[in-house]
Structure 1
C-alpha cells in the first residue's frame, strides 16, 4: 500500500490492471511534497504493469481538492507517458535483476499469506478470528518504530519540517467510512508527528508563539553546523521553534542568550572534541540561567548538567512528546 493499491489479478484472463495511488502515503504537513510521492507511485504502478492509474490530488488528506490539485493529478500520468515515454516500452522493468528479484520475493510472500489465509478457513474466517488484524498490527508496530526513529523519513514532516509554514486549508471532505460496519483500523504514516504538530499549533493559538528550544552552538561553524542542522530538524518535527542566536556561545554568554531566546529548553551542538572541553560548563551555565532541560546533540556521554541526548536513530517521537510535556504544551 506504500506505492499503489492495485485491483485485478495480474495477467489473469487478460484482465486490465488498474492502480490508485495510496492515500496512506499522503501527508497533511507540507502537502506539496505529495506531488512527488504520487508521481513516483504512478511510475511504480506503470513499471509494474498497470494499464491505468488514478492519481489522487496532493491535498487529498486535507479535504476536497481544489482546481490546481485536480489539474496536477490529471496531468501526472500524461507527463509520464508523453514526456517520459513510459508507455513506449512494453516491459520497462524487463531484464532488471533488482526489480525481478523484488517481484519474486513479493510474489512468494503474497502466496504464503494467501495459503495461510486459506488454512484459516478463508478471508472472512481470518478476519473474524483476528488473524489479519494481528498480522497488520505487528507490521504497523515495526513500521511505527522506524518512523519514530526516522529510519523511514517523511520529507516535510519528520525531516526538513517547516513549523512556520502557512497551513494549506481545504473544505472538509465527507468520510467514506462514516456509519460503516467498522473493519480494520486505518493508519497514516504521519499520524504520530501530526499529533505533535497539532499540540504546537494549539500552543500558538493560545499564547501567540510556538514552543521554543535554544540552540547553544559551541565553537566555530565548522564544528557545530552539522549538529545544529540535525537538532533544528529534529525539534521542528514536533513544531518546536529553534532559536539559534547568537551563532555561537560559551560559558560566559550562554545564560544571557538563553534568557533572550525566551526558551526554557536548550540543546548543545558542537563537535565531540569541543563537548569534552566545554559541554559540562556551558550546560551548567544554562541550568543556572533557568533552563528546565538541557539536551546534547550526539551520542550519550558523561556530561554534568546534560539531561538528555538526541542522536541519529533516537526515538524522536518519544523525545518530542516528553519535551512538549515538560513545556506544558497541552
Structure 2
C-alpha cells in the first residue's frame, strides 16, 4: 500500500521532493522514539542488560556519509548521550554517578524490583549500589552513607511498601538523599509516599530517558 501511495504521488523522486516520504519517516521515528524512551522497544546491551564495565569497542572511524537523501538516525542515541555524561563524569572524578538501591523486606519480596531498578539506572550509566542484607528505617541512613550515592531507589513488593516505604523514604531524605525513587506504581498511596519523601516512581513503561536524564541533572553530572 505504501509503494502504491508513492507511485500514485508520481514516483519516488517526486515523493522525496514533495516531502511526503520525509513526513512519513518523521512520524514513524517520533513513535519509535517514544517506544525506545519507555523501553517498549528494547535495545539489548543499551536500554536492557547494560554492562557498565564493558570496554569500548576499538575500531577505525566510520566513513563520513554522503550528504543529502533520507535522514540517518541511531535508535540508541538518547541512551548513548546519557552514558557519555556518565563516562565524562568517570573520567573527571574517578567514579560513576551512583544510586543506592534500598532493598526492603525478605529476598523474595525485593529481588524482582532490585533487578528492574538496576537494569533501568545502569542504562543511563548510573552505577547501582546495594547492601548484602535488606535495610529498614533504622539502618538505611548508615547504609546510604556507606554507598557513596547521592540518590536512592526503594525496591520491594507492594505489601512491604505498605509497611515500610514511608518511613524509609523519610529516613533517606533526612540522610541527605537528593532524590528518592520507588520501583513500582504508587496506586492509592501516592500522596502518603510523596509526603514522606518519594520524589519519583519508576516502573515498566515509564519514560526511562526522562528519569535518567533528570537523575543525572540532580547529581550535577554535566
Question: Same fold, TM exceeding 0.5?
Answer: yes
Residue 233 in structure 1 maps to residue 119 in structure 2: yes
- In the alignment, what sits opposite 1:278? 164
Secondary structure class of the residue paired with 2:149 = coil
Residue 155 in structure 1 maps to residue 44 in structure 2: yes
Q: Tell whether the 8 Å contact from 1:246 to 1:257 is kept in structure 2 after alignment.
A: no
- Unpaired runs of at least 5, structure 2: none
Secondary structure class of the residue paired with 1:323 = helix
Secondary structure class of the residue paired with 1:185 = coil
Task: Render the CA deviation track for 1:65-100: whole Å, top value 9, x for unaligned.
Answer: xxxxxxxxxxxxxxxxxxxxxxxxxxxxxxxxxxxx
Alignment of 1:91-110 (within 5 A): none
More RCO (CA 8 Å, sep 6+): 2
Q: How many residues align?
A: 216
- In the alignment, what sits opposite 1:16? none
Cα deviation for residue 184 of structure 1 reads 2.0
Secondary structure class of the residue paired with 1:250 = coil
- In the alignment, what sits opposite 1:194? 80
Supply the RMSD in Å over aligned alpha carbons.
1.1
Q: Distance in 2 between matches of 1:227 and 1:165?
A: 24
Q: Distance in 2 between matches of 1:184 and 1:143?
A: 17
Match of 2:65 among 162, 176, 200: 176
Q: Distance in 1 between matches of 2:165 and 2:62?
A: 51
Structure showing greater Rg: 1
- In the alignment, what sits opposite 2:180? 294
Cα deviation for residue 171 of structure 1 reads 2.2
- In the alignment, what sits opposite 1:26? none
Alignment of 1:211-290 (within 5 A): 211-290=97-176
Task: Render the CA deviation track for 1:256-311: whole Å, top value 9, x for unaligned.
Answer: 11111111100000011110010000000000000010000001342121110000
Cα deviation for residue 126 of structure 1 reads 1.1
- Unpaired runs of at least 5, structure 1: 1-111
Task: Render the CA deviation track for 1:236-257: whole Å, top value 9, x for unaligned.
Answer: 0001000012431100111111
- In the alignment, what sits opposite 1:53? none
